[in-house]
Amino acid sequence: MSYNFYKILHLSGIFLIFLSFGGIYINSVVSEKKKWLLAFNGIGLTLALVGGFGLLARLEIITNWPMWVWAKLIIWVIFAILPSISIRKKVDPKVMTLITFVIGVLAIYLANMKPF
């Protein structure tokens, strides 16, 4: 498949992840909505991962991944964990929103600048 297909898939996953974060942070106490929001988060994480690896394949980065790829994988794991932290630990949604924003900006920086 084409580079543009994987880019759209990757970005669609990212939008779904952030959409789920907003819902989770706002509705962190409503149990019936949590299931759908967590499902959206999981689907978004899957789309972002598949799209990201597709983009790496199109860029011919198959072996010997640069450090920015490893950093993006760590960010992916953090994005997988954040909803659980928000729901179980009852961390203030404002703090979680700020953390999510900062990590998202870091991911954008890594993808565009590829600093290492």
DSSP 37-65: HHHHHHHHHHHHHHHHHHHHHHTT--SS-
As a whole number, mean pLDDT of residues 29-45 equals 81
**Does residue 29 surpass a pLDDT of 60?**
no
Q: Could you tell me the pTM of the whole model?
A: 0.87
Provide the residue ranges of all domains of the chain, joining segments of one domain with +: 3-113
Look at 12 and 115; give whichever has higher pLDDT.
Answer: 12
Given this model, what pLDDT does residue 104 score? 93
Least confident of 3-17, 23-37, 38-52, 70-84: 23-37
